[in-house]
């Protein structure tokens, strides 16, 4: 879950590098902004869709 700080260029770059490393290990990264995560109904529906549930 990404808060506003993740929009800063240096933080976003670190996030991209970390995500690439994680994905290179075969993991999937699902990024969600903090404001959206506060809406539990939306969050559950989004995760069900993304995870194919």
Tens digit of each residue's pLDDT (9 = 90 or more) over 8-41: 999 999 999 999 999 999 999 999 999 999 999 9
Instruction: Output the pLDDT for position 3.
Output: 87
Instruction: Output the pLDDT for position 29.
Output: 96
pLDDT > 90? residue 7 = no
14, 20 contact by CB (below 8 A) = no
3, 35 contact by CB (below 8 A) = no
pLDDT band at 53 (very low <50, low <70, confident <90, very high): very high
- pTM for this one? 0.76
């Amino acid at each position: 879950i990404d808060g506003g700080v993740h929009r800063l260029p240096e933080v976003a770059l670190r996030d991209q590098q970390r995500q690439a490393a994680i994905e290179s290990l075969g993991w999937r990264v699902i990024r969600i902004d903090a404001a959206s995560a506060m809406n539990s109904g939306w969050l559950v529906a989004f995760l069900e869709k993304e995870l194919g549930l």
